[in-house]
């Protein structure tokens, strides 16, 4: 559920996590999920399906997106730019950036864009998941983009393991020596809260880790009361 608190802004919960007030209802979970999929589809993959054009930096006009969605999906006749801003600002992974009535996806593009994302304060180590079968090959030849325009690195080994679990039950997590790579001139950009982008990572900056996720009992014991 997506709501708005008059004092503390947008949130995804039954009540404002700051003040506990019920807030103003914006959309239910089904609408939030569907509109989120439409928005990422437009910004990452198929703006042309909605008659929209992404500028070279990945930006699209919010009012134009609202009109395009309303025309293609009449059930969303109530949609306004504020609803899309609310989706963007409450996204847990930081998939979007909003600026001056425009919005863009921060990563995972299959369309050609030239993102001008932050390149400072990059962690010294970043991580990438592979299958057991891929591990030896990647450690020999390095990382290159496959179905996306850039290689997507994770902030923590746990983030990488979670991302890799979509493809394989037991991903191998590789560590990237981001500090040395950047010192050697490789540009790494921060795209989301836990996602970093790079054109490629040569093998010399990669090594295998022994990371394994905590067992459910351990996670429960470590969870705050």
Query: Can you give the pLDDT at residue 223?
Result: 38
Query: What tokens were used for 193?
Result: 């809260």
What per-residue confidence (pLDDT) applies to 225?
41
CA distance linking residue 62 with residue 97, whole number of Å: 11
What is the topology classification, in CATH, of domain 2-105? Arc Repressor Mutant, subunit A (1.10.10)
Three-class DSSP category at 76: helix
Distance, in Å, from the CA atom of 51 to the CA atom of 25, rounded to the nearest integer, reads 30
pLDDT score, position 202? 97
Q: Which residues of 194-224 are buried (b: 16+ CB within 10 A; e: fewer)?
A: bbbbbeebeeebbeeeebeeeeeeeeeeeee
CA distance 45 to 225: 41
pLDDT attached to residue 222:
42
Rounded distance between C-alpha atoms, residue 172 and residue 153, angstroms: 14
CB 117 within 8 A of CB 192: no
Evaluate whether 20 touches 8 at the Cβ level (below 8 Å). Answer: no
Which H or E element spans position 84?
helix 81-89
CATH T-level assignment (fold) for domain 125-208: ADP-ribosylation fold (3.20.170)
What is the model's pLDDT at position 217?
54
Sequence ranges of the domains in the chain: 2-105, 125-208
pLDDT at residue 114, rounded to an integer: 87
Tell me which residues of the chain have a pLDDT lower than 50.
218-225
Q: How far apart are CA 78 and CA 123, in angstroms?
A: 42
Tell me what pLDDT residue 216 has: 64
CA dist 116 → 59, 104, 148, 223 (Å): 11, 11, 17, 37
Which residues, 6 or more positions from 176, have their beta carbon under 8 angstroms from its beta carbon? 125, 126, 127, 128, 143, 153, 201, 205, 206
| CB 32 within 8 Å of CB 45 | no
Q: Could you tell me if 65 and 84 are in contact, meaning their C-beta atoms sit under 8 angstroms apart?
A: yes
């Amino acid at each position: 559920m997506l709501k708005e608190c008059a004092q503390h802004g947008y949130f995804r919960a039954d009540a404002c996590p700051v003040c506990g007030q019920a807030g103003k209802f914006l959309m239910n979970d089904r609408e939030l999920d569907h509109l989120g999929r439409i928005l990422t589809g437009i910004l990452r993959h198929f703006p042309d399906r909605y008659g929209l054009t992404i500028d070279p930096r990945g930006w699209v006009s919010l009012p134009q997106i609202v009109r395009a969605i309303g025309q293609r999906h009449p059930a969303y006749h109530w949609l306004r730019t504020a609803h899309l801003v609310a989706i963007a600002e409450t996204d847990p992974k930081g998939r979007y950036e909003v600026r001056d009535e425009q919005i863009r996806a921060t990563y995972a593009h299959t369309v050609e864009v030239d993102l001008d994302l932050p390149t400072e304060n990059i962690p010294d180590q970043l991580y990438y998941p592979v299958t057991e079968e891929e591990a030896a090959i990647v450690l020999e030849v390095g990382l290159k983009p496959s179905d996306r325009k850039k290689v997507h690195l994770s902030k923590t080994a746990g983030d990488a393991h979670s991302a890799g679990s979509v493809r394989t039950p037991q991903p191998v997590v590789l560590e990237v020596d981001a500090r040395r790579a950047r010192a050697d001139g490789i540009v790494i950009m921060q795209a989301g809260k836990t996602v970093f982008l790079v054109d490629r990572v040569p093998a010399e900056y990669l090594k295998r880790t022994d990371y394994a996720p905590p067992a459910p009992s351990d996670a429960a014991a470590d969870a705050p009361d």
